[in-house]
Amino acid sequence: MESSEAAGKDDNNECSGFLKKKGRYSPKWSVVFAQVESCFLRYGPSKESQLKSVNLVGSVIEDREEKGAPNTFSIQPRESKRSYIFSTDNPEEHQKWLQAICLAKLSKQSSNEKSEACTIQ
């Protein structure tokens, strides 16, 4: 996967680049362009076409082991049974994505919600 922008971060804790995403109903992996923006992980086939998003506020983030994809994590949005599974090319990118996701999750936490640490399960 060509990832010239992979796991690029700016001062707003936004992260963008190419990730592999496991299909919802299929074990196949596809390459998507993803971006942590505000409290969402947006993704799609290209930078110009990020058609889908995952709300990070209140989500459960899990470090996973997947056959053939060692740098894998999942995001399960609050009040959802679905888990979104993503993989990076190397441990450094994996760590950058998890950090950006955790920071986005915590930074947009409502003042009415109890404080929660961002723990990777």
Q: Determine the distance from the C-alpha atom of residue 5 to the mean position of all C-alpha atoms in its chain, rounded to a whole number.
A: 15
Percent of the chain with pLDDT over 90: 62
Percent of the chain with pLDDT over 70: 78
Candidates 34, 71, 77; CA nearest to 55 is 77
Q: 106-117 b/e with 16+ CB inside 10 Å = b? A: beebeeeeeeee
Predicted structure pTM score:
0.82
Residue 118 has a pLDDT of 66
Domains and CATH numbers, the chain: 8-107 (2.30.29.30)
Residue 24 has a pLDDT of 87
- Residue 14's CB is within 10 A of a number of other CB atoms, namely 15
pLDDT single digits (tens) 58-115: 999 999 988 888 899 999 999 899 999 999 999 999 999 999 999 998 886 654 454 4
> Mean pLDDT over all residues of the chain?
84
The Cα–Cα gap between 6 and 79 comes to: 30
